[in-house]
Amino acid sequence: MAVLTGQVVAAFSRRFIVATAAGELPCQVRGRHLRAVCGDRVEVRRDGDAGVIEAVLPRASLLYRSDAFKSKAIAANVTQLAVVVAARPSFSMELVQRCILAAEDQGIASLLVLNKADLPETPVARARLDLLTRIGYPLVTLSALSDVTPLQSALRGHTTLLIGQSGMGKSTLINALFPGADAVT
């Protein structure tokens, strides 16, 4: 059996979808100690219609989600972190700042995305982001339900992780950017 190289495009506990030159392949990892996350480049041994991830290749970046008790790797080889906020519901500036710090730690570019720009509260939300935009963090303002064009050029050439609180419109953005994704909103 030949070894293929691919990239993890979806992760479900210890099951993965790996995009290879031959197409997408459902995979599992070999052994208990091998840890793969979305974005990882991996070596896969094909076994019929499925595969086994044999190795995780060196990572350019690795982002974690952590709390007071544990941390968990969530994405690798990301080149840009898009922090999605909205005027309604109100967003946590502390979370926005923590996301930017995590990106800075890994040498990853940050992008602020102000969604739901059609809401009357948008100017207040934009003002809350003013300090971050003044020190150089780019801001894209849009409404995912009507037009994601302003975001498309900011995503071009990047592997971007969308991050933000619940209700900010991340799934709606995914569905608008990738018709057929059917992300649950």
Domain boundaries of the chain, sorted by first residue = 3-56, 78-177
Answer yes or no: is pLDDT of 137 > 70: yes
pLDDT single digits (tens) 27-51: 999 877 889 999 999 999 998 889 9
Determine contact, residues 38/19, Cβ cutoff 8 Å: no
Local confidence band at 2 (pLDDT 50, 70, 90 cut-offs)? confident
Q: May I ask the CATH architecture of the domain 78-177? A: 3-Layer(aba) Sandwich (3.40)
Q: Does domain 3-56 have CATH number 3.60.9.10?
A: no
Mean per-residue pLDDT, 127-143: 97
Q: Among residues 86, 93, 139, 80, which one has the least CA distance to residue 115?
A: 86
pTM of the model: 0.87
Determine contact, residues 73/102, Cβ cutoff 8 Å: no
Mean per-residue pLDDT, 108-112: 97
